[in-house]
Amino acid sequence: MMIKFQRSTHPLTLTNNLPHFSESCFSIWNPNRSFSLSSPFHSHHHSLTDHRVLYRVLEQCRISRDSKTAAKTHARVVVLGYATYPSLVSSLISTYANCRQPQIANHVVHHVFAHVSNLFNMNLILERLMKVGQCDVAKKVFVKMPVRDIVSWNTVIGGYVKNSRVVDALSVFRVMLNAKVEPDGFTFASVVTACARLGALANAKWVHALMVEKRIELNYILSAALIDMYAKCGRIDVSKCVFEDAVLFSRMEMENVLPDSVTFIGILIACSHCGLVEEGRKYFDMMQNQFLILPQLEHYGTMVDLLGRSGLLDDAYDMIKAMPIEPDVVIWRALLSACRNHRKKELGEVAIANISRLESGDFVLLSNMYCSLRNWDGAERVRQMMKKGGVHKKHGKSWIELGGSIHQFKAADHLHAEMKAIYRVLEGLNQRAKLEGFAPMTELVLMDVSEEEKEENLNFHSEKLALAYAVLKSSPGTKIRIFKNLRICQDCHNWIKIVSRILNREIIVRDRIRFHQFEGGFCSCRDYW
């Protein structure tokens, strides 16, 4: 039996004439079972008339980039009259975009505006596109929308932030203000988070001033976001003031305000960053026994991080094994990181065996652990695994802002116009640091080479070059701010502590993990990051 689809006037036909498909070619895969896409009028295939089933099929097509099955499912969606359902529209757009068929994705977008006039549904489409990372497609939809409300703007701004496109988020926020659309608390929650990730103090001050000007009421979420923003922008003093003005846990208890699961996540993270093991255990037990809140993955992950950072790796592993829910990749990575720091090879191998999709950072942690134990064969095996899997280590870079310009550096960089002067300053700092007792941590170098070669490798890390340039170009006594895309290594951390004392200057380094404020030979993280 052949099913022929005549030219359709429905908004979301793939082309003017849908392709002719036989019953046999309509076989599609579903996580739960296999279906045959035959005539929609056959009652025994009723499950295929369910838009939720079709959505799951499209999502699988998006993940596997199966454009042929996507096209067949699209035809099914059209025939059944589901072509204006927000979940299916957004899934179709993102699936075609992921399958590298932008023309068809744009075709679907074009017809959305001809037949979806409901603002609520348009906002749902925006949200779903942002959720699966299709920011550019979502922006096209947003720009074409004839009418937008505050939810539309918040969805785009928040979506950009969640997809780590913070510059775009701030750009849309400025367009929003120019369009005379009044931002609300949800808008500022996203924008403040964007400023924190960018680490730009000027933007942070501007956004905070806007919040005050527009009399945005602070809640727990906004207060926490402001604290994080100023800390990551290097203004720990302002961050502390916001913190002291916010509602604290002890004050909540006095005022009989019941904490929720989010409250305890914040408390446990604070305990982890401060190394407060017993306090962390106390609040973890209190959450369950006193407030009857069941721990979620985030709570377990923070406890594993706290115990692992403190060297209690057996306790951390016992907690993972006792979890009533399946541990996720974040938890195993927290354990792997702790194993690298405390040189626990066997447990580190257990952690990496439980990470289903290894990324470059996982391999680097494992390789670092082998190198710290001088297990060069193990480190070489890891490098071969990376090579075989086509995994490349993410290159570190650091940058500083001087005179309105961004100056970026990579390790052993020679591209900067003033590189000779930068290396002269760096050499002087290295000599003075050694006189003050600094010893390079050569065990961090992932190569079986001489100690001299290892030391030379460490000398030219990107943050050291950025610091040398800041010393070269700034006035004595002024504050230095450096940004880094990866976690600062222990060698650079120890070196900058000593340099801050030698120069009698405050040096701020914002890395991928947290904010570090170096002053007088000490760091605000207390060597715990």
Q: Say if residues 112 and 138 touch (Cβ distance below 8 Å).
A: no
Round the average pLDDT of the chain to a whole number and report it. 78
Give the DSSP H/E element, type plus range, for residue 123.
helix 119-131
| Residue 455 binned pLDDT confidence (cut-offs 50, 70, 90) | low
The candidate with the shortest Cα–Cα distance to 441, out of 363, 341, 352, is: 341
Tell me, what DSSP letter sits at residue 502? H
b/e map 491-517, b = 16+ CB within 10 Å: bbbbbbbbbbbebebbbbbbbeebbbb
Nearest to 196 by CA among 187, 207, 211: 207
* Amino acid 391: pLDDT: 65
Who contacts 257 (Cβ-Cβ below 8 Å, separation ≥6)? 247
Question: Residue type at 439?
Answer: A
Nearest to 99 by CA among 133, 129, 74, 63: 63
Range with the poorest average pLDDT among 12-26, 56-70, 352-366: 12-26
Compute the C-alpha angle 517/522/456, nearest 5°: 90
What does the pLDDT average to over 12-22?
36
For the segment 251-267, the average pLDDT, to the nearest whole number, is: 73
Q: Is the pLDDT of residue 453 over 60?
A: no
pLDDT at 157: 95
Give the C-alpha separation, 298 to 396, whole Å: 28
pLDDT tens digits, residue range 219-230?
A: 767 887 888 888
What pLDDT sits at residue 180?
A: 92
Segment 124-153, tens digit of pLDDT = 888 888 887 788 888 888 988 888 999 999
Structural tokens at position 182? 């009044």
Q: Which residue has the tokens 């060698």?
A: 491
The C-alpha atoms of residue 351 and residue 108 are separated, in whole angstroms, by 44
The mean pLDDT value for 447-474 works out to 78
Q: What is the pLDDT of residues 48-84, one digit of tens each?
A: 567 777 788 877 887 778 878 778 877 777 777 777 6
* pLDDT, greater one: 183 or 442: 183
The mean per-residue pLDDT over the stretch 488-505 comes to 92
Is pLDDT of 431 > 80? Answer: yes
Handedness of CA 138, 144, 149, 150 (dihedral sign): positive
Q: How confident is the model at residue 493 (pLDDT cuts 50, 70, 90)?
A: very high
Dump pLDDT digits (tens) for 272-292.
766 788 988 999 999 999 889
